[in-house]
Structure formats: C-alpha cells, structure tokens
Amino acid sequence: MTLSSLISGAAWNCTLTFLPVKKNKVVFSHFYGKGFGDSPKAIALALRDAAPGADIVWLISDPSVALPVGIRPASYAPLSRIYHLSTARVWVDDCRKGARYKKKGQFYLQTWHGFALKQIEQDAAASLPADYPAYAMRDSRQTDLMVSGSRFMTGRYRHAFWYSGEVAEYGSPRNDILFEPPDGLREKVCSALGISPKKKLILYAPTFRVDGSLSAYSIDIPGVISACDQRFGGDHVMLLRLHPNIAASASQLSCNGNTAVQATNYPDIQELLAVADVVITDYSSVMFDFALTRRPVFQFATDIAAYQKDRSFYFPLDQLPFPLAESNDALLCAISAYDEDAASSRWLQFAKENGIHEDGRAASRCASWIQAHL
C-alpha cells in the first residue's frame, strides 16, 4: 500500500466521522475530473431544472472550465474530493470512483460511458492491472444503481462488473441530446471551431491505441470529403477528434483549416455528434451513439489484427450494422455505395437484437431517481 493511499484512507475515516451528510447535495464527476460532459452532464442539467433547491457540485481538475449557472465547481484534488463526497447525499459518476467508504444514507448512481464494443472489466481480465479488480469490486459494492441503455449492457453489468445491485434501463443520458439538440447548437459548435455553419460536418473520431501511436489514423481527408460531397451533397469539412487518452498528441495530425479542423479540445463530443452529418470511427462506441440519429456511420479500421492483440470485441466487426473499410480505397467505395434504407434496416435489426432503447428522456429519469433520494 502506498503512502498516498494510506493518507487517503485516513482522510476518509476522519471526514466520515465528523462531517454530516447534506441532504440536498449531489456530487458529480466525469472521467476522473476531466471536464464537463457525458451522462453526468446531462443528468446534472436535468436535475438543476427539476430541483432548483438541489446543491449540485461538479468535481473538476481544471478550474478554468466554465460550468452552467446552478452547478458549482469544486476541485478534483484529493482532499476537496473527499470532503465533497463525504458530505453529499448522492454521488453520480461515469467511471470507477475509487471512494473508500460510503456512509449510511448516501447513494451512488453509476452511468458508465457507452455501449461496449470492446470487452471491458472482468471480460477483459487478462488486460487489467493486477490491482484493478479489487478497486472495481469496492466501487461496485458501493453502487446503488447502474443506468443502462440496452439489454446488452445490462447483461455486461451483471456479468463483467462484479455488480449484483439494481440496474435501470432508463437509456443513456448522454444520448438525449441526439434526439433534441438545443437551439443554436450547430452555430455554437461551428463558431467554436472557426468554420461556416453552412458546411456539412464529417466527424472522424477514432479510439486510442495502447502504445499511443497515431499511425492507424491515416485517413484520406481530401478523398473522404470529395466522396461525401458527391454522395450526400453539400460542402463537407472534416472534424478530427482524438480520444482523451491521447489528446495531447492532437497537434501531430495535419489540419489545414479548410478541409480538416482539429476538434479534439472541443469540450463535449456528444455536442459534436448532435451536429455531425457523417461519423467515421474505428472501434469507438460513438458509432452506436450516432446511429440513433440514423445518419451515416462508417468504420475505418486499418489495424484490426494488431488491435485485437490488446482488446477483444463483443461483436465481430463485419457483423456490425455499419460499413467496414480496412483501407482508404475501401472507405471511399463504402461512402459512394452508401444505401440509407439498407443501413437503417441493419441498425434497427441490431438494436432489436441487443435491446437498445433510447428515447431522449434518460436524464430526466435519472434526475427523478436522485430527487427521490434527497
């Protein structure tokens, strides 16, 4: 056990002993303090609107990030985090929390972060750090509710998360925005990225590689834009969005501002999905999110064999409801040959087989659950 973990454990014991729980306090966190986003963001906004008297606290590492009115920031640093978690009635998170103890009268809602293509948690035991299972088991023991958007993910929670508690198939709160984007969102995104709102948007959002390499992201930007212009009409521009784990490497990808724009630092990928006209990814769960819009999704994966040495999939890639291209030439052909009716039919069948049920009201259901526990 490290000195930091001993100090953290002692701090938990101290605060749990002396600090009372505040009945109207709800503490949110996203991706270990990295920004304001994903399902916790959607739930926090829904709760703010539904329960004006709630004290909504957002744990965040970067104090420069602006939060909406009614949501107050707090440092994600250890002592601040311990204090706020110790005094909150409800915790909301989309990643493992690592909290050591939870008091009687506190409640923990866990949303996780997406429909899983890659095997996760216990299903990926061989690739987990040696100390992770104990950490995850402790987190699962403390969880009161896991939120699911599908029968498939409910099964994963039961089988792979060391979890035996309640699962509510409310939908995925982060996807609510895809059903009813806020007025002016497209203009907001385009303004932030310095592009005309008249442009049609191709979002290229690949996942990360364990070694941090960018070599698999060799997409033919001019060719893809030309193919999309011809197949779908309009004047397209590509938004490049790297995974947060390799965001620091974004500057290594060439963006000329005319055909390709760097969007890695845009604060919320769900907003990008809500305004995108086309999405291209490799192994990221964003493909399942964006499919809810019924707009075109393409898989561009040039390193499948190498990637599968590190991560296995729940579904064979060629059996997913999206065109799969393993080269730039194949991607251009897939775009040119895209059939909306066939794509819609494949998606509806996949959604039915896996019990995907999203209706844009998941966040309000979570907010109601929280209100019932305040």
DSSP string across 252-305 = GS---SSSEEE-TTSS-HHHHHHH-SEEEESS-THHHHHHTTT--EEEE-S-HH
Q: Is there a single domain that holds both residue 205 and residue 336?
A: yes
pLDDT score for 310 = 85
Q: Is there a single domain that holds both residue 223 and residue 343?
A: yes
Q: What is the CATH number of the domain that holds 283?
A: 3.40.50.12580
Residue segments in the chain with a per-residue pLDDT below the cut of 70:
1-17, 257
The answer to whether 193 and 267 are in contact (CB under 8 A) is: no
CA 360 to each of CA 107, 161, 349, 354: distance values in angstroms, whole numbers, following the listed order: 24, 26, 20, 18
> Is 25 part of any domain?
yes
How many Å apart are CA 159 and CA 308, to the nearest integer?
21
Which pair of structure tokens corresponds to residue 296? 């075109």
> Is 4 part of any domain?
no
> Is 52 part of any domain?
yes
Q: How many domains in the chain?
A: 2
> Is 8 part of any domain?
no
pLDDT score for 1 = 44
Instruction: Write the burial class of residue 292 (CB in 10 Å: 0-12 exposed, 13-18 middle, 19+ buried).
Output: buried
Q: Is there a single domain that holds both residue 162 and residue 20?
A: yes
Q: Is there a single domain that holds both residue 31 and residue 160?
A: yes
pLDDT score for 97 = 87
How many Å apart are CA 71 and CA 57, to the nearest integer?
6
Q: Is there a single domain that holds both residue 75 and residue 141?
A: yes
Q: Is there a single domain that holds both residue 44 and residue 79?
A: yes
Q: Is there a single domain that holds both residue 51 and residue 68?
A: yes
| AA letter at 14 | C
Q: Which domain holds residue 271?
A: 181-353
Q: What is the CATH number of the domain that holds 366?
A: 3.40.50.11820
Q: How many CB atoms lie within 10 A of CB 350?
A: 18
> Is 10 part of any domain?
no
Backbone angles phi, psi at 62, to 5 degrees: -100, 110
CA 127 to each of CA 118, 158, 277, 307: distance values in angstroms, whole numbers, following the listed order: 12, 20, 35, 13
> Is 1 part of any domain?
no
pLDDT score for 4 = 55
Q: Is there a single domain that holds both residue 221 and residue 75?
A: no
pLDDT score for 8 = 63
Q: Is there a single domain that holds both residue 189 and residue 316?
A: yes
- The 3-state DSSP class for residue 24 equals strand
Instruction: Write the burial class of residue 238 (CB in 10 Å: 0-12 exposed, 13-18 middle, 19+ buried).
Output: buried
Q: How many CB atoms lie within 10 A of CB 147?
A: 28
The answer to whether 172 and 149 are in contact (CB under 8 A) is: yes
Q: Is there a single domain that holds both residue 36 and residue 85?
A: yes
* CA trace torsion 22, 27, 33, 36 (10° rounding): -140
> Is 9 part of any domain?
no
Q: How many CB atoms lie within 10 A of CB 233?
A: 10
Residues 6+ apart with CB under 8 A from 100: 8, 9, 12, 138
Rounded to two decimals, the pTM is: 0.95
> Is 87 part of any domain?
yes
Q: Is there a single domain that holds both residue 330 and residue 190?
A: yes
pLDDT score for 331 = 98
How many Å apart are CA 12 and CA 99, to the nearest integer?
8
Q: Is there a single domain that holds both residue 227 and residue 160?
A: no
